[in-house]
Amino acid sequence: MTENKFGKPQMEGIMYCVRCCIPSTQELVKFDEMGICQACQSSEQKIHINWVEKEKELRKILEEAKSKAGNNYDCIVPISGGKDSTFQLYVLTQVYGMKPLAVTFSHNWFSETGWYNLLNSLEKFNVDHIMFTPNRDLVNRIAKRSLEAIGDTCWHCHAGVGAFPLQAAIRFNIPLLIYGESIAESSGRSTYKNPLMEFNLDYFMKVSTKRNPKEMVCDYISEKDMKPFFFPSIEELDKAGVRLMHLGDYIFWDDERQMEFVRDNFGWKETEVEGTYKGYKSAECIMPGMHDFTNYLKRGFGRATHQASVDVRNGLLSREEGFELANKYDNEIPESLEYYLKVTGMTKEEFYKMMMEKRLPEIKHIDLPVVEKTRKNKERILPYPEQLIEREENKKNNG
């Protein structure tokens, strides 16, 4: 890259935050009069919060939950086995002495590392656990429908991680659900000072699912197939007194330091994550590369931009260094594309045509480069359950 191109953003003519690497094409992003995005504003506000007082509020909430629970579970902790939910289990069980029910919606795309991390966290923190796993054929069909519906491959995960813990709260009469990272932390959709987005059912629809289950029905997906993805009604949730909260609204949140803590003390493992330069976010899944690649094709940036922006805010990178990393990784074609095309029956031509249709109007004139990866992924892009079955079949066939 020539010197005059060093540290320049991918898209010319598009507004970027003057402090980090986030473009105006990020969903729901807002900039102040100086051109600073909400995520950067929030990171400054975070330093001035009295976290001692916040922790006192948290302790009061948890003590009330224990008192009301009686012989039932004190709370539900939705977990994936990722760094955040592992840290949540540590804090709630080891620091505050809570007895949670761990609840997992399985995307059925577990990586080998992710499967280990999930089971390891359950063993290390001795928590009871329930998991719902949609069948493989349904996951594949929804993945195809997801692309045409929302321009993303992961609708079933977005919907399931919202719906299933709430279904469990109703069925097991456990009103308090404790999530991890605050909405104000790094998404740029809200700030600590002005939490404009209430954490409720509308949040899940606005931020992740985009389509309700009925809208996902088509000639190859029935409404009966969609049963696991329906949220409880507002009336059901109100009657049960269900409350959603983020642990990160009450304790100072630093996901990389927290990852290092659970890695060094409880055996949590990183892996290679496609489309970026760090290996700890979404380590539980084989498909984050597709999620982020579709975002790049739609909005002109991927996971490397997001993570570089966090590192810029934390003083680990300059803004120019952040853009360099984003330009290196965002445009890589993930190996997971081949798996996606195989399970959905789509061709590459169909995939790229559909993603061009999903591209934001303001960047349709921009030529977004895509490049082949020059290295093999460290971890196999195949759901770990399928790897186990394949392994046993090979043993049987080889005598």
Q: What is the CATH number of the domain that holds 321?
A: 3.40.50.620
- Reported as a single tens digit per residue, the pLDDT across 273-327 is 999 999 999 999 999 999 999 999 999 999 999 999 999 999 999 999 999 999 9
For residue 1, the model assigns a pLDDT of 44
Q: What is the DSSP letter of 308?
A: H
Which pLDDT belongs to residue 5?
A: 77
In this prediction, residue 209 carries a pLDDT of: 75
How high is the pLDDT of residue 193? Answer: 83
Whether residue 213 is contained in a domain is answered as yes
Asked whether 177 and 242 are in contact (CB, 8 A), the reply is yes
Is position 131 within any domain? yes
- Evaluated on CA atoms 230, 144, 357, 157, the torsion sign reads positive
Please report whether residue 134 resides in a domain. Answer: yes
- Predicted local confidence at residue 189, as pLDDT: 73
Residue 84 has pLDDT above 90, yes or no: yes
User: Whose CA is closest to 187, among 27, 393, 6?
Assistant: 27
Phi, psi of 62, deg, nearest 5: -70, -40
- Residue 325, beta-bridge partner list: none
| Per-residue model confidence as pLDDT tens digits over 332-368 | 999 999 999 999 999 999 999 999 999 999 999 999 9
Over residues 130-149, mean pLDDT: 98
Percent of the chain with pLDDT over 70: 95
Distance, in Å, from the CA atom of 251 to the CA atom of 260, rounded to the nearest integer, reads: 17
Number of separate domains in the chain: 1
pLDDT for 190 equals: 77
**Domain-embedded: residue 2:** no
Confidence of residue 184 (pLDDT cuts 50, 70, 90): confident
What percent of the chain clears pLDDT 90, i.e. is strictly above it?
87
This prediction's pTM: 0.93
Q: 3-state SS string over 36-88?
A: CEHHHHHHHHHHCCCHHHHHHHHHHHHHHHHHHHCCCCCEEEECCCCHHHHHH
**278 is a domain residue:** yes
The answer to whether position 3 is within a domain reads no
Q: Which two tokens stand for residue 252?
A: 């100072």
Query: Is 4 a domain residue?
Result: no
Can you give the pLDDT at residue 2? 47
Instruction: Classify residue 325: in a domain, yes or no.
Output: yes
Question: Which residues span the domain enclosing 347?
Answer: 12-399
